[in-house]
Amino acid sequence: MFGWEFPPHIAGGLGTATYGLTRGLAKHGVDIKMVVPKAYGDEDQRFVRVVNASDVVTRFGDTAHKDIWDKMTFIEIDSNMIPYASPEEYFAKREEWERTGKITTGGDIWTGRYAFSGRYGENLLEEVARYAMVAAEVAKEMEGQFDVIHAHDWLTYYAGIAAKAVSGKPLVVHMHATEYDRSGENINRTVYDIERAGMEAADRVIAVSNLTRNIVIEKYGIPADKVVTVHNAVRFAGTAAEEVERGVEDKIVTFLGRITYQKGPDYFVEAAAKVLKKLPGVRFVMAGSGDMMNHVVRRVAALGIADRFHFTGFLKGDDVQKMFSLSDVYVMPSVSEPFGISPLEAMKSNVPVIISKQSGVAEVLEYAVKVDYWDVDAMADAIYALVQYPALASMFSSKGLEEVTGLKWDNAAAKVKEVYQAAIDSQTTNV
């Protein structure tokens, strides 16, 4: 399995989803080798110890979870490198060197390492390409030790392609978000091309919602019979959430996510202004960071609601749960959301949620208030109702908790395991 991030080092829902899915797969008897660009050694130290590629044995601290974590191993990318090249150039060069005798396994030319940042910086595309080359080495070294390759999101698709080319094993790519979700119609063509290449090379494509599945089929031209929808889920912690002292009597309405075009933060601000005209005793919290931060701050100031608006910056880990504990209403006004795990996290904390109809999670939730992301009047009305009428909020909270309890990663993982088997079977049939 190739993934770009894993808790606690995450930038959004991708790492959270990967974490939940791997736990679920382990429960279903799937042995996982998790390849990440950079391991830090603090990936959930309660359960796992991170090691280098040359030593894949993982120790666990909690014997109650031993049945899960015994099946999972991390590999910190630590492999032989050549100068920057595309995966195709890499394979051609390797074959040439082996044919001419300029290289043998373990030859000096392969010594050296590339220090991946594991981040989303300006060298991201370079890291994606180098990650693909290292993936080929990992697949070669692990020959005979795996049955299927699973690549999460576009950052790892070249890695999946490279590993498939080396091993001949079936490839499953997981589409958590498309370039159309991130950028609208003004797409980054390079990213689009990588996404399309990964899905074309794959034996099966997993989409996190029917919304995403339709985009994959219509915008990328991927055959419908190759694309399977597996909705995300939510993980319930084994311990009770920590009690958090509010410190204020005001109702708290929360937005939690990247402050980018895709997440619709500006619509949240406009709805907040409308609510505050009728209910001044409400506080609005925007938890996150992103390229629209300055725009949103200026708009809050221009609307004259800065004294009722709070910016927390990016939250992770326990701070996310504390924020949900403080919240009376959670709003996800995404313009285009492939799925959206955060509403499930809010619902399991007994918080009523308002979500955009343009989200994949809307497909699986009944007890959530659904509005069009652009309809700030409807969004403001929904916030007003949940804040002003306790009985209504209590109904959505209790019914929502019942509903989200049934959305388990174990069930999602069972479907993913079926996709693995279908990919293996289809490759066998084609051969």
Q: Do domains 13-233+410-430 and 251-405 have the same CATH topology?
A: yes
Q: With 0.85 as the threshold, say if the pTM is over it.
A: no
Packing angle of the helix pair 87-100, 157-167 (nearest 10 deg): 30
Average of per-residue pLDDT values in the chain: 81
CATH of domain 251-405: 3.40.50.2000
Q: In whole angstroms, what is the distance from residue 389 CA to residue 405 CA?
A: 25
pLDDT at 56: 24
pLDDT at 112: 43
> What are the residues whose beta carbons fall under 8 Å from the beta carbon of 222, sequence distance 6 or more?
196, 199, 200, 205, 216
Q: What is the mean pLDDT of residues 403-415?
A: 93
Where are the domains positioned within the chain?
Answer: 13-233+410-430, 251-405
Contact indicator for 236, 405 with CB cutoff of 8 Å? yes
Q: Amino acid letter at 88? A: E
Name which of 113-122, 160-169, 388-397, 417-426 the model is least confident about: 113-122
Tokens at residue 153, please?
Answer: 């999101």
The dihedral over CA atoms of 59, 63, 68, 71, expressed in degrees to the nearest 10, equals 30
pLDDT at 81: 36
Name which of 5-14, 139-148, 291-300, 308-317 the model is least confident about: 5-14
Q: What is the mean pLDDT of residues 89-101?
A: 55
The 10s digit of each residue's pLDDT in 282-308 is 999 999 998 899 999 999 999 999 999
DSSP 176: S
Give the closest residue to 16 by CA, choosing from 333, 327, 332, 340: 340
pLDDT at 155: 87
Contact indicator for 32, 73 with CB cutoff of 8 Å? yes
The 10s digit of each residue's pLDDT in 364-396 is 999 999 999 999 999 999 999 999 999 999 999
pLDDT at 58: 23
Q: What is the mean pLDDT of residues 259-273?
A: 95
Give the closest residue to 143 by CA, choosing from 22, 33, 4, 21: 33
Specify the fold of 13-233+410-430: Rossmann fold (3.40.50)
Q: In whole angstroms, what is the distance from residue 81 CA to residue 84 CA?
A: 9
pLDDT at 62: 37
Q: Tally the C-alpha atoms within 13 A of residue 110's C-alpha that lie toward its C-beta.
A: 17
